[in-house]
Amino acid sequence: MEQIHYIEAAAGRVQQEFQSLAGQMVSLHGAVSKIRKMSGFAFVLLRTAERTEQCVWEEGVSGFPLELLCEEACVEAEAVVRAEPRAKAGYELCLKSVRVLSAPAQELPFAVGNKEINTSFEKMLDYRPLVLRSEKERAIFRLQACLCRAFREYLEQQGFTEAHTPKLVSEGAEGGANIFRLDYFGRQAYLAQSPQFYKQILTGVFERVYEIGPVFRAEKHDTSRHLNEYTGVDFEMGYISGFEEIMEMETGMLRFAMEYLEQHAGRELALRNVRLPEVGRIPAVRFHEAKELIAAKYHREIADYEDFEPEEERLLGELIRRETGSEFVFVTHYPSSKRPFYAMETPGNPEVTESFDLLFRGLEVTTGGQRIHDYAQQVEKMKRRGMDPESFGSYLMLHKYGAPPHGGLGLGLERFTARLLELENVRQAALFPRDIHRLTP
């Protein structure tokens, strides 16, 4: 039929590498990130998907007026590759012709083509769509994407299945007031604080399951380490013999991820000057002993026997690094009072739980542990906490109809990224951060 035509599959993408093409004409596209006028010529830095190319406009040689270009114009260009030992890449691109595909309507409020962006932290957040264009800012998220790839690849090798669980839920998993509420066709709904219930349920289905997705916390904290929406890297595994298996899995995952970054993101690691941590075996210390160690070594009084202060986490990180060389440390056996109702208590010592946090460079980046799988035990613990098991009917189907012994963890992707890149504020590791003041961009 004449009305029908056909769409062919896209051709494969070819990574552009110009080094070895000296003397040849090449075509490329990108955004003009900087123009530096000299006498009779100008440097035109072009930001492509991969890197920034040093192009040169020359009077009488380039077949168009320099005025055609401005910062953040998107262009297609033809250029001749010229070896240039003074250029960082060892070559430059001599512009022959340019086609402007799209031009900005307004001048930038600040330059994004320089090494560092010269504006306030608040402005950096307000102008996120622009700030992210800077090669150095962009690299943060190329590394984050690479991390996710590594996590997935490792988990899939280990037999985990990816799940997509609902974010609109009828009950929060973590309890407390830190939950967003909304109307769902006349009923009260919440935004999931984690995929906790669903990933537990799915250990009865897939045995091993993971999800990388958004989680929501209505916490009123306004600190450098809290976000109200963040990306949770969650996994859960059935048929475990104890919670140490979960820590072993995380150790393997982190080791794999660090090697993966080294192999696949060398350019971005260099651009951000990232110091990758060594992941050999990871030291572990019990919560109460950690508290005492910190108190003894740093001559501090223990104010709260049931939780860490941020300063204590930092000091513990420092102490462990000095003693063992590791920038990671597992803290185990957190007090039951501080853990959710699904946490398994330590046999013979119900005051503490079969649980752990992972600290990385002095900050908690993971919480995990073994969960209760026995129905009677779970119902009893819920009642002890004043919860109504009836409200958790579909979650408790897991336990009622037979759950394998299981446990898992949640890792905050932005926090982990921030620690890895030694960014001061977790907001710098979120493309479009959400905090109590910020719902845009």
Give, as ranges, the residues between 193 and 252 that touch a second copy (CB under 8 A): 198, 201-202, 204-208, 213-214, 216, 218, 220, 228-229, 231, 238-239, 244-245, 247-249, 251-252
Cα separation of 220 and 228, whole Å? Answer: 8
Contacts of a second copy in 317-356 (CB under 8 A) = 320, 323-324, 330
Stretch that binds a second copy, among 87-95, 147-155, 305-313, 361-369 (CB under 8 A): 147-155
Q: Which two tokens stand for residue 159?
A: 């037999």
Q: Which stretch binds a second copy (CB under 8 A): 83-91, 132-140, 300-308, 342-350?
A: 132-140
* Comparison of 16 and 82: residue with beta carbon closer to a second copy: 16
Token pair recorded at residue 208: 């091993």
x/- track of binding to a second copy for residues 368-407 (CB under 8 A): -----xxxx----------------xxx-xxxxxxxxx--
Give CA–CA dist 399/405, Å, rounded: 10
Q: Based on CB atoms, which residue is closest to a second copy, 64 or 180?
A: 180
Stretch that binds a second copy, among 78-86, 113-121, 161-169, 345-353 (CB under 8 A): 161-169
Cα 153-158-161 angle, rounded to 5 deg = 75
The yes or no reply on residue 158 touching a second copy (CB under 8 A) is yes
Angle at 133 between CA 127 and CA 135, to 5 degrees: 130
Contact between 156 and a second copy by CB under 8 A: the answer reads yes
For a second copy, which is the closer residue by CB, 121 or 239?
239
428 forms part of the interface with a second copy (CB under 8 A):
no
CB of 59 to a second copy, least distance (A): 25
Helix (H, G, I), strand (E, B) or coil at 334: coil
CB 369 within 8 A of CB 405: no
DSSP string, 383-426: HHTT--GGGGHHHHHHHHT---SEEEEEEEHHHHHHHHTT-SSG
Q: Which of 282, 382, 409, 426 binds a second copy (CB under 8 A)?
A: 282
In the block, tokens 């993408």 appear at 13
- Applying CB under 8 A, among 108, 258, 387, 423 the residue interacting with a second copy is 108
Q: How far is C-alpha 169 from the geometric centre of its chain's CA atoms?
A: 24
Tell me the closest approach of the beta carbon of residue 61 to a second copy, in angstroms: 25
Classify burial at 119, counting beta carbons within 10 Å of its beta carbon; exposed 0-12, middle 13-18, buried 19 or more. middle
- Number of chain residues interacting with a second copy (CB under 8 A): 132
- Bridging pattern class, strands 406-412 and 229-238: antiparallel
Q: Which of 191, 363, 365, 409 binds a second copy (CB under 8 A)?
A: 191
- Shortest gap between Cβ of 433 and a second copy (angstroms)? 8
9 near a second copy (CB under 8 A)? yes
Does residue 409 touch a second copy according to CB under 8 A? Answer: no
Q: Is 367 in the site for a second copy (CB under 8 A)?
A: no
Runs of H (alpha helix) within 92-193 = 121-126, 128-131, 135-157
Taking alpha carbons only, the member of 250, 257, 259 closest to residue 281 is 250
User: Smallest distance, Å, CB 317 to a second copy?
Assistant: 13
- How many Cα atoms within 13 Å fall on the side-chain side of residue 16? 16
Among 17, 67, 105, 303, binds a second copy (CB under 8 A): 105
Q: Is 255 in the site for a second copy (CB under 8 A)?
A: yes
Q: Is 175 left (phi over 0), alpha (psi -120 to 50) or beta?
A: left
Residue span 56-85 as binding mask against a second copy, x where in contact by CB under 8 A, dash where not:
---------------xxxx-x---------
Asked whether position 48 contacts a second copy by CB under 8 A, the answer is yes
**Interatomic CA distance for residues 334 and 307, integer angstroms:** 8
Residue 119 binds a second copy (CB under 8 A): no
For residue 284, give Cα distances in angstroms to 245, 257, 361: 13, 20, 14
Q: Which member of 51, 58, 136, 283 binds a second copy (CB under 8 A)?
A: 283
294 near a second copy, rule: CB under 8 A: no
